[in-house]
Structure 1
Amino acid sequence: MARTNADCGAWVTDLLEVEPDENVLEVGFGPGVVIQRLSKLVPAGRVAGIDASQEMVEQARARNEAAIQDGHVELRLGSAESLPFDEDSFDRALAINSMQVWPDGAAGLREIRRVMKQGGRIALGFTSYSGQPRGGVVEKIVAAGFTNARLVETDEWFCVLATKPGAG
């Protein structure tokens, strides 16, 4: 599962077009494989993540120990519905195979929107094993206040990309 999510995560981060100086948030980072990739993609930026599992936080912290020590990566225990970050903090946000297990998907998306900068981009990626149907995700992200939502699909994965309205 970690390998499948890592491959999907690499694809999603490519779709997100992360810039080297951006601040990026991953919601539901699991063992921290995508966090590790993101930290390399944003050498002049910052990577933060939140996960509801203490075990995953510990694994991800171990995997990303050097980047955490140098202040480049910050990983926290918590939920998508109550993000411990200030408004307008992130240029990009992503979640891989996680939205379908949030207690309240709509509230989680609204919280992500709150912590994103105007013009920031979000990507929600899913593998075929996620249990998340392709239908309805675009509508959920639009209902949370994002614009320019679109679905990108492969045989194995799908991703919904959208933008927080405003200058950017």
Structure 2
Amino acid sequence: MVHDPADTPADRSFTDRLLHRTFGQPRGLLGRLGGWVMAGGKDATIEWVLEQLSIRPTDRVLEIGFGPGDGIRMAAQATSEGSVAGVDHSTVMVRMARDRNATAVDAGNVDLRHGRASELPFETDSFEAAFSVNSMQLWPDVHAGLDELQRVLVPGGTAAFGFTHHAKQNPNELVDVLMSAGFESIELHERNRAICAVVVTA
């Protein structure tokens, strides 16, 4: 479900906080373990989400919440003449994704940074496409993140928000949130209990 700011770590049970530290906002040894567990686990969904974007080889693509870097790798393969950038709130995931995409990072084709969706460290109109998978529900301020996303996308740019069934994202709630953020063109896709919403910027 889309994150409720009132649902802070202090309000959760010990088990919930443990899972949050391992998978939600990975930190320390638990975060590294969570990264390896997640690696490759969403490949089919990520590939499907990227298909919805129809990425061109020259596109500049952004991923928000890249985790261990599987989506970054796939997007880089699709943008042989473009570039891929990403932001993640976990320093553990940033290090892991950089290691797993070291060749592309060293070549300057991939730029991975630590940060939050609500304060994207990129210039206005920097990307033709953007995506996230099982990430938006973890943003502390979803509307601020969507505002930032619209800022860094070029006019007519596309964004895709994917969720595996583990995220338990309600499709109707997702559409409502995107509409309230000002997106008028919203396409909702469903496959194998996963959902993906595709939007176009004005």
* TM superposition score category, shorter chain reference: over 0.9
- Conserved 8 A contact 1:50-1:80: yes
Q: Which of 102, 110, 119 pairs up with 1:82?
A: 119
Q: Which of 157, 181, 186 pairs up with 1:144?
A: 181
- Structure 1 alignment gaps of length 5 or more: none
Q: Which of 158, 161, 168 pairs up with 1:124?
A: 161
Residues 1:134 and 2:174 aligned together: no
Letter in 2 for 1:33: D
- Paired residues for 1:42-57 under 5 Å: 42-57=79-94
Moved more, 138-147 or 75-84: 138-147
Match of 1:62 in 2: 99
Residues 1:41 and 2:78 aligned together: yes
Letter in 2 for 1:32: G
Match of 1:112 in 2: 149
Residues 1:21 and 2:37 aligned together: no
Which is greater in Rg? 2
Residues 1:32 and 2:69 aligned together: yes
Letter in 1 for 2:119: S
The alpha carbon displacement at 1:139 in A equals: 1.9
CA distance in structure 2 between the partners assigned to 1:8 and 1:114 by the alignment? 26
Match of 2:46 in 1: 9
Moved more, 1-10 or 128-137: 1-10
Calculate percent identity across the aligned residue pairs. Answer: 41
CA distance in structure 2 between the partners assigned to 1:112 and 1:4 by the alignment? 26
* Structure 2 length-normalised TM: 0.79
The alpha carbon displacement at 1:142 in A equals: 2.2
The alpha carbon displacement at 1:131 in A equals: 2.8
* Structure 1 length-normalised TM: 0.95
More helix by share: 2
The alpha carbon displacement at 1:135 in A equals: 1.8
- Structure 2 alignment gaps of length 5 or more: 1-37
CA distance in structure 2 between the partners assigned to 1:146 and 1:70 by the alignment? 35
CA displacement, residues 66-100 of structure 1 (integer Å, 9 cap, x when unaligned): 10111100000000000000011100000000000
CA distance in structure 2 between the partners assigned to 1:147 and 1:24 by the alignment? 21
Letter in 1 for 2:172: G
CA distance in structure 2 between the partners assigned to 1:121 and 1:6 by the alignment? 21
Q: CA RMSD in A?
A: 1.0
Letter in 2 for 1:52: H
The alpha carbon displacement at 1:136 in A equals: 1.5
Match of 2:197 in 1: 160
Match of 1:103 in 2: 140
CA distance in structure 1 between the partners assigned to 2:61 and 2:118 by the alignment? 17
